Amino acid sequence: MENPPLLPADPARTSLDPPAPGGRWAMPLVLFTALAIMTGLMLKFKPPAAIPPAGADRGAVVGWAPAPPDGPAVSLSIDFGNGARRDFSRLPWNEGMTVGSLMEAAAQFRPGIRLERRGEGAMTLLTSIDGVANQGPGGRSWIYSVNGQAGEVSCAVQPLATGDRVLWVFSAPE
């Protein structure tokens, strides 16, 4: 079988002429269309999010977390005052740990918490946990207790012992 002869190039066009209409955008358009189709299929067929079993605490965070420590530990609970709560049942304890350093450890845990504070040392004031900020005089603020005893000093200097339970509550002062 004989190949058909090639058509001669258009003598009126030069290599400096712009490409024919549609020729310049054909490849990006094909790639964009393929990407859009793939994204749509991935969204349609993605696995469902994990749903806690019936009776489970639905306020608890679902996801991966490192194994609890084998050694000494402390626990941390955060009550947002609206029914939402975060619990860290066993965070590693170390000599010299304070409520403030416990909060830093919880921020490094995955999934962690976001903290904002003001001041240094004995003048440190926790101003926000996970975007919930103190409301100022007469409003609700973050208040902590250790083993049921209300904190009387800055969280940065309140010492912790192994096995202590820290609770932060977003509430109005009593």
Residue 57 lies inside a defined structural domain of this protein: no
Q: What is the pLDDT of the chain when averaged over all its residues?
A: 80
Q: What is the CATH number of the domain that holds 158?
A: 2.170.130.30
For residue 4, is it within any domain? no
Q: Residue 58: inside a domain, yes or no?
A: no
Asked if residue 99 is part of any domain, the answer here is yes
**Domain span including residue 137:** 73-171
In a domain, residue 29? The reply is no
137 belongs to a structural domain: yes
Could you tell me the pLDDT band of residue 15, with boundaries at 50, 70 and 90?
Answer: low
What pLDDT does residue 89 have? 84
pLDDT tens figures, 21-80: 556 777 777 888 888 888 877 777 666 554 444 544 544 444 445 555 678 999 999 999
- Phi/psi at 136 (nearest 5 deg)? 90, -175
Distance CA 66, CA 87 (A): 14
Within-domain flag for 8: no
Q: Is the model more confident about 11 or about 155?
A: 155
Q: Is the pTM of this model over 0.85?
A: no
Determine how many CB atoms are found less than 10 A away from the CB of residue 7.
6
In a domain, 33, yes or no: no
Quote the number of domains for the chain: 1
